[in-house]
Amino acid sequence: MNRNASPPPPRHRARAIALALLVILALAGTAFVLRRPLTMTAPQCMAGRWHGCLDTFNGVVLMTLVTLPAALLVAWVLARHRRAAGSPSAWRMSLAEVAMVHGTVPFVWITMMPGAGAGTVPGRLSLVPLRDLVTMGPLGLAGNLLVFAALGFFAPVRFAAAASVRRIVALGAGCSVLVETAQYVLRLDRVSSVDDVLLNTAGAVLAGLASRRWWRTAAPAPSGRPRPAPAPAA
């Protein structure tokens, strides 16, 4: 038996590395698919212009990719701070927190972009389920599924309180209702649709199921009964 062999890496560290690789692969795939429109938007974004950059889908995606190194740096700083404090899941918690924000804010930003008649046309509602699905098209369906996918994927990884399908449903539906309500109240020239809520919630749940093996479990509550002392050796 080799007593000098190094011990295997901790399980939580391997999980954190796997999560980081998943995020990087997802963003790399997005950049590859959208490489042509992203290069067309790059000059406006690099010049610091609002119009043509942050008010377009391609510009928001480009800035999401550009700020990825900064997001990873924030995750590293958080993990380092937690490790210094003795946290056993420093990397997993830090990556999940940063990924939730970095993967959700851009989609919410796109969803809240005002239309041409923002501020002048009244808010519009579509409360009949499944009526708008036939008019969304593949991109609309995929986009609505992705709005809260990062939240559904990483929330149960970070918070034990969110580690159940019912709670992911409540989280996704609640956030989607807030966004649709804001669209209506702010009169952004967008349709607040119940189908958007259904798709947003479905995307969060599907993403949550994909991360189920990494869900955080609550630590067992300490028992109030004192443990018996071990019997002395004979």
94-110 tens-digit pLDDT:
999 999 999 999 999 99
In one-letter notation, the amino acid at residue 147 is V
Domain-located, residue 232 = no
Q: Which domain holds residue 148?
A: 112-218
Inside any domain, residue 1: no
Q: What is the pLDDT of residues 131-156, one digit of tens each?
A: 999 889 998 999 999 999 999 999 99
* Co-location of 100 and 129 in the same domain: no
**Whether residues 118 and 176 fall in one domain:** yes
Does 133 lie in the same domain as 64?
Answer: no
- Between 160 and 222, whose confidence is greater? 160
- Domain assignment present for 90: yes
Q: Quick one: pLDDT at residue 96? A: 95
Tokens 């002392």 sit at which residue?
229
Beta bridge partners of 124: 191
Instruction: Please check whether residues 52 and 129 belong to one and the same domain.
Output: no
157 and 88 belong to one structural domain: no
Strand ranges, E, within the chain: 124-126, 191-193
Q: Name the nearest CA neighbour of 64 among 28, 17, 114, 111.
A: 28
What the block records as the tokens of 83 is: 């490790």
Spatial distance between the Cα atoms of 33 and 14, rounded to a whole number of angstroms: 29
> 94 with 62, same domain?
yes
Residue 32 has pLDDT above 80, yes or no: no
